[in-house]
Structure 1
Amino acid sequence: MEHLKDRLAQGALDEMLLRLYGAEHLTAARVRCAELLAGFEKTFSAPPAGLFSAPGRTEIGGNHTDHQHGRVLAASVDMDILAAAAPNQSGMIRVQSQGYPLMVVDLAVLTPQAGEENTSPALIRGVAARFAALGCPLQGVGMDVYMTSTVPGGSGLSSSAAFEVLIGTMLNELFWQGSRTAVELAQIGQYAENVFFGKPCGLMDQTASAVGGVVAIDFADTDRPMVEGIGLDLRAEGYALCILDSGADHADLTAEYAAITGELKAVSGYFGKSYLRDVPEQEFLAALPAVRKAAGDRGVLRAFHFYAENQRAADEADALRTGNFERFLALVRASGRSSALYLQNVIPTGQTVRQELMVTIALCERLLAGRGAVRVHGGGFGGTAQAFVPLDALAYFKAETEAVLGAGSCHVAAIRPVGGVRLG
Structure 2
Amino acid sequence: MVTSQLYNTTELTEVIGSGGIDNILKDLYIDKSQLEYQRKRYINALNRFTQLYGEGDVLIFSAPGRSEIGGNHTDHQNGKVLAASINLDIIAVVRPVNSNESVSEEGSLSGHSGVNAGIIRIVSDDYPMIQVSLSDTDINKEEYSTTKALVKGVTAGFKKNGFKTGAFDAFITSDVPMGEGLSSSAAFETLIGTIQSHIYNAGKVSAEDIAVIGQMAENEYFGKPCGLMDQMACSVGNMVYIDFNNKEKPIVNKLAADIKEFGYSLCITDTKGSHKDLTDDYAAIRQEMNAVAGYFGQEVLRGITLKDILDNFKELQEKFGDRSILRAVHFIEENDRVENEVKALTSGNIDEFLRLVSKSGDSSYKYLQNIYSTKDTANQGISLGLMMSEIFLGDNGSYSSGVCGNGVYSNGVCRVHGGGFAGTILAIVKDNVVDEYRRNMDKIFGDGASMILQIRHCGGVRII
Deviation at 1:254, TM superposition (A): 1.8
2:442 matched to 1:402? yes
C-alpha change, 1:48 and 1:251, in structure 2 (3 Å) is: farther
CA distance in 2 between counterparts of 1:131 and 1:46 reads 29
For 2:62 and 2:34, how far apart are their aligned partners in 1? Answer: 15
Q: Tell me the equivalent position of 1:60.
A: 69
2:4 is aligned to none
Matching residue of 2:416: 376
Identity rate of aligned residues, in percent?
42
- Separation of aligned partners in 2, 1:322 and 1:351: 42
User: How far 1:3 moved relative to its partner?
Assistant: 5.1
What secondary structure is seen at the aligned counterpart in 2 of 1:323? coil
Change (3 A) 1:422 1:339: same
What does the per-residue CA deviation read over 1:67-126, in whole Å, with 9 as the maximum and x for residues that have no partner?
A: 101010000000000111111142211111111111112222101113111111111110
Tell me if 1:315 matches 2:340.
yes
Distance in 2 of aligned mates of 1:59 and 1:325:
17
In the alignment, the residues of structure 2 paired with residue 233 and residue 110 of structure 1 have an alpha-carbon distance, to the nearest angstrom, of 40
Q: How many residues align?
A: 422
**Structure 2 counterpart SS, 1:231:** coil
Q: CA deviation at 1:144?
A: 0.9
The code of the aligned residue for 1:334 comes to K
Task: Describe how 1:332-347 pairs up with structure 2 within 5 A.
Answer: 332-347=357-372
Query: Greater CA deviation, 32-41 or 155-164?
Result: 32-41
Aligned residue type for 1:19: D
Q: Which moved more, 1:248-257 or 1:373-382?
A: 248-257
CA distance in 2, matches of 1:46, 1:255: 47
- Tell me which structure has the larger Cα radius of gyration: 2
Give runs of aligned pairs for residues 10-409 of structure 1, distance below 5 A. Answer: 11-22=19-30, 23-89=32-98, 90-138=117-165, 141-369=166-394, 370-371=409-410, 372-409=412-449
Does residue 460 of structure 2 align to residue 420 of structure 1? yes
The farther-off stretch of 21-30 and 255-264 is 21-30
Offset, 1:278:
3.3
Q: What is the TM-score when the length of structure 1 is the normalising length?
A: 0.96
The CA deviation at 1:137 is 3.1
Contact 1:40 1:47 in 2 (8 A): no
Where 2:344 maps in the other structure, the secondary structure is helix
- In structure 1, list runs of 5 or more residues that go unmatched: none
Q: Which moved more, 1:314-323 or 1:273-282?
A: 273-282
Q: CA deviation at 1:408?
A: 0.5
Distance 2:282 2:423 in 1: 12
Query: How far apart in 2 are the matches of 1:63 and 1:243?
Result: 15
For the residue of structure 2 that corresponds to 1:49, the secondary structure is: strand
Q: Equivalent residue of 1:251, what SS?
A: coil
Q: Deviations over 1:262-297 (max 9, x none)?
A: 111101011111110033432232112222223222
- Residue pair 1:152, 1:159 contacting (<8 A) in 2 also: yes
Question: More deviation in 60-69 or 288-297?
Answer: 288-297
Q: Which is worse superposed, 16-25 or 321-330? A: 16-25
Cα offset, 1:15, TM superposition? 2.6
Contact kept, 8 Å, 2:141 with 2:221, in 1: the verdict is: no
Question: Counterpart of 2:60 in structure 1: which amino acid?
Answer: L
Partner of 2:399: none
**Segment drifting more, 155-164 vs 35-44:** 35-44
SS at the partner of 2:227? coil
Displacement of 1:318 in angstroms is: 0.6
Q: Which amino acid aligns with 2:89?
A: D
Distance (Å, rounded) in 2 between the aligned partners of 1:328 and 1:259: 30
1:242 Cα deviation from its structure 2 partner: 0.5
User: What secondary structure is seen at the aligned counterpart in 2 of 1:278?
Assistant: coil
Query: Which secondary structure does the structure 1 equivalent of 2:290 belong to?
Result: helix
Q: Which amino acid aligns with 2:28?
A: L
**Residues 122 and 192 in structure 1, CA contact (< 8 A), matched pair in contact too:** yes
Aligned-partner Cα distance in 1 for 2:140–2:55: 30
CA separation of 1:285/1:46 partners in 2, compared to 1, >3 Å: closer, same or farther? Answer: farther
Checking the alignment, whether the CA contact within 8 Å between 2:305 and 2:332 is kept in structure 1 is: no
1:342 deviation in Å? Answer: 0.5
More helix by share: 1
Structure 2 residues without counterparts, runs of 5 or longer = 1-7, 99-116, 395-408
Q: Helix, strand or coil for the counterpart of 1:276? A: coil
